[in-house]
Structure 1
């Protein structure tokens, strides 16, 4: 099947390459000529495991190519995936749909009869219906469907090639048949296919993200209670996660969530629910957001206590800049948010990250960055573990101890093994755990 993918960020680039890899003819479209040149050369514009190899393979096969022209895209195919960003609006917590609207408006000028516009962007419920009305006013026999993405940065290729489910919101048997045919290779290897209306499809994505965000904030709320009670949240998390009704996933107490999805999605969901008269039903999401942001303040406050109550003249080593391991994305990164506050309060902050230093430097140029962990930790008064990259679990605490000024570590992700650190003479601290805990 011929298809276009409009927008080549995380979602669009991965979707285009994966669809080409399962046999479709794909034209990726973006307004950025430099990005198109990089993609045409088989280079991804972001770090994502396996993506460079996949791009190189599909571009070389001839099934995937790129362009800056929507007119060319409309001529090339009748199925068009819209994968542009929907950031938070600068004046409210609602989603900013200007990029989605702009794509659909320009695409409408070129669409051939019978075209199907498929949204993958995360949008407020009712967006597809509104776009359908706009499309109907300027085109003939074209329709809008919605097919939310569920990929995770760091495992996006695997999530696209082996999805747990595929959700499509459609308004006609023709649209459903087209999307069933397109995704048939993925259904054949185990993906569950859900066909529903567009409103339900839109809600599936924001409901899923809201549930996961709630689970993370719940365990972080328990971490606060554990600190007050002298209990250990890591043991608590394992114990309640052993209940099959709850499960272990997303029960990782620590610095909280960030990135380009969870924070803005739960805010936009709450804002849209308020608009349609259902705000009270999801009012708890405001508290989920507050708990999450509070973890950053708690980390800063805990660090301040560890360096004697004032950051002026203190050296702080920060391990991690990306919002999660496996990605170079620093958008709304909890790690960088903490590092920024420490710098503002007078600390000398050095940051390590195996993949995200270029993006971190662009976002916060006043900090010091290095790919050398010992250099980052040299003469540090405290070391902060803020992004749980596997690299940090491989650090030799005994070798690192002579490098720092004070062997003090705050594990804000609760993912390091405390035993070797304490055996090497480190004072190890964590959120939601007793200082003398062993787990």
Structure 2
């Protein structure tokens, strides 16, 4: 499809949304936020043009060739993978015919900062979203050597010298600072105070430009699921989220396996998993949750319908927000989380609606094996009248910051290999069956 036809469509205002992949093909937290943001903007009669890098490495013998293009999406349709110069031409045409109310940068992964600098040189209002720490370190979960949380987002020799990402992080930090300094009007949107505190250590000069804005607003009060567990009742415990290593899924599986081998203890619990995993167990009830089929509140509805008492959110990486945490408390569940889970651990400690333990299967097994004490603590929570939200609504505070500004034409003088974009586009279409 011809991308330049987008500029001919009938609309007055638009936002330019930048992400590192097609948000309609994935269902992680950042993609969920972007899709809901597009819907919110649409209710304000603001269209969204989404762009993302298409990147592919091809090996010819021992020679690695990198081919690149920029994917363009409008009205949920993938238009094309185009060269960077053609992308700039599209943005220039849009800015001549329409009013851009903001450039929303949701990630810089796979992107060249010199290209992003050209995109924002139009002078539009820029929003930088901190869904992870990709602006601070190429290891965007801040895992030292890709394994353990390093403690903070600041790059310095004492902490980082023995990390394989150190030299890359130094270059990235320098380039990001130059990029941020080049933007006339920028708001850095942090989903939590936890993220703000980490990110401002890496970029202290940006602190006053940070807006803490959670993805959701907690509304009303959910007054169910507060009946104490009776002596003959099992405690319903659920792992919520994708069954992968970084979410602590295999520590959870190890614990459930060991409890299932204990004839006495296995009679006291029912185990559930809300989400997808390649590895399952017959003694864990798997509940499929589909946002597409059941709407954005699908997880809340599923947890409520199954009357889950306890939710396990055992991430070993620092979560910047965590939809699953807020969905769990909307079902009035007691939350077990790890000390490495970032904003989840921060929220649990602040709200006193769960327990934070060491990240290990031993710690989780010890907690659940002490059934009498655990049940007592759970029942105390159920009697505490915790203010569980009835609904979660999109936080639209950023709408007040949108503005149409006088724009400048982006200079297009970069040399590029157009054939690279053509090949990248073809390969992308084949992979995602978009031919």
Query: What's the TM-score, normalizing by structure 1?
Result: 0.32
Where relative contact order (Cα < 8 A, 6+ residues apart) is larger, the structure is 2
Greater share of strand: 2
Greater share of helix: 1
